[in-house]
Structure 1
Amino acid sequence: MAKQGVSPTNREVFFEHDEIIVSKTDPTGRITYANDIFLKISGYTEDETLGQPHSFIRHPNMPRCVFKLLWDAIQAKGEIFAYVKNMTKTGDHYWVLAHVTASLDGNNSILGYHSNRRRPKPSNVALVSDLYQKLKAAEDRPTNRKDGLSESYERLMHVLKDKGVSYDEFVLTL
């Protein structure tokens, strides 16, 4: 809905170090809550945000394999820390260090998901950005999106194996 016709500007915007972006989604990833910081940095109103798939703010340069890791973790009722590049309503971008978890009911069934996002250190963004560019290039090489996702995911797993860490460990040790 809101992103149609918006092109990336290559202009980065920032939120304050003491601000936390918070959002909640239903089990399908549609936004049910977005705090004022989310709305301020993204440039969208609450009416434009609620009910949208959370991916509507995803920057087109983000490798999908990171979201595969994220969804695998949270659908298994785990948690994940991830660096994510998002796009605002105007095409600007902002980086976050996201902590995403499943929200469970008394029967341990998933009610939805909860994400807190902080402003990452620029040095960490530089390291992650370089890796993400390589993953995105691997993803875009095949003409088939499924093959591209598989290729970038395998490349990411290889990088993590070489470092001897999980993705969370990689993120938290930067």
Structure 2
Amino acid sequence: MDANNALRPSKIIDEEVKWDKSKTIISKTDPVGTILYMNDTFEEASEYNKIELIGEPHNVIRHPDMPKVVFKVLWDNLKQGNNFHAIVKNLTRTGRYYWVITDFDVEKDDKGKVTGYTGRRKALPQSVIQKIEPLYKTLLEIEKIKGEKASELYFNSYLQEEVNSSYEDFVVKLFEDSGAAGSNGAIEDTPKEGGKIKKGINWFFFGETNPK
């Protein structure tokens, strides 16, 4: 489903939007990505209000700097009923951007059919962005010049040859190697124990009182 161009900004601004990074962005969609619910933090970060986005495709906030292959991997996993962590650069109403790490609850009916998704997104430290951004730029350039299939082939080979892991494992490792959840719930560039976040990515999204 294509984004509604009328809602997208006419100009891209290379500037990060200001939002409360200690909070969690939450949205709920149907199986094809139509937005059914968004919280106030989503409004703040995206600069869209609920009236504008309810009923619209979630890709209305897709930033043109994001390679399509990342969303292909994400949606392939979600459609199979798998949670998936991804690092995403989103587009705001005014053409600015914000970076997040994602987590999903996949909702199913009694027969196991996927009925929708609840997505949670939280801010990342600059150190993670600096590591993932060059890869995304390379993938995007390949897509522009050689097409999406070539980008996918390079992406798969990169994961195999350079990081020896799946994309999700790569994302989680970047997260774990770069910081820990601070007392206010935001991720920070802080010392870590043994190269790992002590409480892990599930604690980062859900906290000790609501383990996943």
TM-score scaled by length of structure 2: 0.77
* Unaligned residue ranges in structure 2 (runs of 5+): 175-212
Higher relative contact order structure (alpha carbons within 8 Å, sequence separation ≥ 6): 1
**Is 1:47 aligned to residue 51 of structure 2?**
yes
Q: Which amino acid aligns with 2:169?
A: E
| 14-23 or 50-59: bigger deviation | 14-23
Closer, same or farther: CA 171–4 of 1 in aligned 2, 3 Å: closer
> Quick one: distance in 1 between partners of 2:109 and 2:18?
35
> Quick one: distance in 2 between partners of 1:97 and 1:80?
10
Partner SS for 2:15: coil
Q: Which amino acid aligns with 1:46?
A: K
Contact 1:15-1:119 at 8 Å conserved across structures: no
Contact 1:77-1:101 at 8 Å conserved across structures: no
The alignment-based identity, stated in percent, is: 36
**Is 1:153 aligned to residue 152 of structure 2?**
yes
Aligned length: 169
1:18 Cα deviation after fit: 2.0
Partner SS for 2:73: helix
* Unaligned residue ranges in structure 1 (runs of 5+): 143-147
Partner SS for 2:86: strand
Pairwise CA RMSD:
1.2
> Quick one: distance in 1 between partners of 2:27 and 2:56?
12
1:64 maps to which of 58, 65, 68? 68
Between structures 1 and 2, the one with greater strand share: 1
Partner SS for 1:39: helix
1:6 Cα deviation after fit: 2.1
Partner SS for 1:111: strand
Contact 1:6-1:89 at 8 Å conserved across structures: no
Partner SS for 2:85: strand
1:70 Cα deviation after fit: 0.4
Instruction: Tell me the equivalent position of 2:180.
Output: none
> Quick one: distance in 1 between partners of 2:100 and 2:53?
18
Contact 1:80-1:101 at 8 Å conserved across structures: no
Q: Which amino acid aligns with 2:142?
A: A
Contact 1:23-1:38 at 8 Å conserved across structures: yes
